[in-house]
Amino acid sequence: MTAADDPLALLDDYLGLAMSDVQAAAFEERLFAEAGAGRAPELSYLDSFFERAQWFASRGGFSSGGEREVVAELSLTPK
């Protein structure tokens, strides 16, 4: 389990199921409160990451050829 002051490490613990149910419930409450107040950049990052991963997978990932061009299009810069 990670230190309680590192939001991305906590999110990793949460997604990796390294938290107890009680800890996960408390983390969810905190995360939703922070997101509601606009203070959860890790959620914005994950939302962008998953959106881009779906885009990438829908185009065949690296199996479609032209990998360099595909990776160049796959910018993690927020829209």
Q: Given this model, what pLDDT does residue 48 score? A: 81
What is the 8-class DSSP label of residue 25?
H
Residues 6+ apart with CB under 8 A from 3: 9
Say how far apart CA 58 and CA 26 lie, in whole Å: 35
Prediction pTM value: 0.46
Average pLDDT per consecutive 10 residues, the chain (79 residues; last block may be shorter): 72 90 92 80 78 81 64 59
71, containing H or E segment: helix 67-73
